[in-house]
Amino acid sequence: VCLDSDPEKVATDASEMLDSYPGQQQALFLLVSAIKTMGAEEAARELLGWMAQEHPRLASIHFELGLLTAQLGMTGEAIEHLSRAVDQEPNHPIAWRALGNQLAQSGDRPGATKAYARHMKLSLRELKLLEDATAGGVEDFAKAEQILREGIAVNPTDVTTIRMLGDMLLRNGRLKEA
């Protein structure tokens, strides 16, 4: 089922997955995307708010809610949820970058600088891990592939990560997937 052709079906399927696996990142992303495609951002915010109350310790929910509230111009609420996301998952570089953006927008330059620095440190560490893994043996390719796919799940428009995954798959002889 395609998000553009049947967003209601995508939302229903993602909701069913989240009933079984609360906070599952891909399902959460699909649900929010489907609801937004239907033009119901406020409904998505309410749903994510409810989920955040039900599962306050799931960073993925706070991350998605932080991104959505940022998109809606609710900077204070976005900072609150993105801060919770990085508190619960301190090695989430995309959450740190999003938090830095919101802190900068709110005028908190020292806070934004710290968040951006954390984002850069984590991003460089991940890049080094990927370089090491893709230079290694077959078992390292599996590790690198998992890291890349997780990165794409968090940020599906990250062209650099998508390209790295494609290059790695090509080098590993997996032409169709690449």
Q: What 3-state DSSP class applies to 156?
A: coil
Long-range contacts of 103-111 (CB under 8 A, 24+ apart): 103/79, 105/75, 106/75, 106/76, 106/79
Give residue for tokens 């169709």.
176
Q: Cα(122)–Cα(86) distance, rounded to whole angstroms?
A: 12
Q: Does position 172 have pLDDT exceeding 60, yes or no? A: yes
Separation of alpha carbons 176 and 154, rounded Å: 23
Q: What is the pLDDT of residue 154?
A: 64
- Of 85-99, 108-122, 133-147, 158-172, least confident by mean pLDDT is 133-147
Mean pLDDT, range 153-165, rounded to an integer: 73
Mean pLDDT of 40-59: 88
pLDDT tens digits for range 14-46: 888 888 887 777 788 788 888 888 888 888 898
10 vs 132 pLDDT, higher one: 10
User: Residue 39: left if φ>0, alpha if ψ -120 to 50, beta else—which one?
Assistant: left
- Look at residue 94 and tell me whether its pLDDT is greater than 80: yes
* Distance from C-alpha of 49 to C-alpha of 72, rounded to nearest angstrom: 14
pLDDT > 70 fraction of the chain, expressed in percent and rounded: 89
The chain-wide mean pLDDT, for the chain, equals 85
Say what the pLDDT of residue 55 is.
86
| Residue 82: pLDDT over 90 | yes
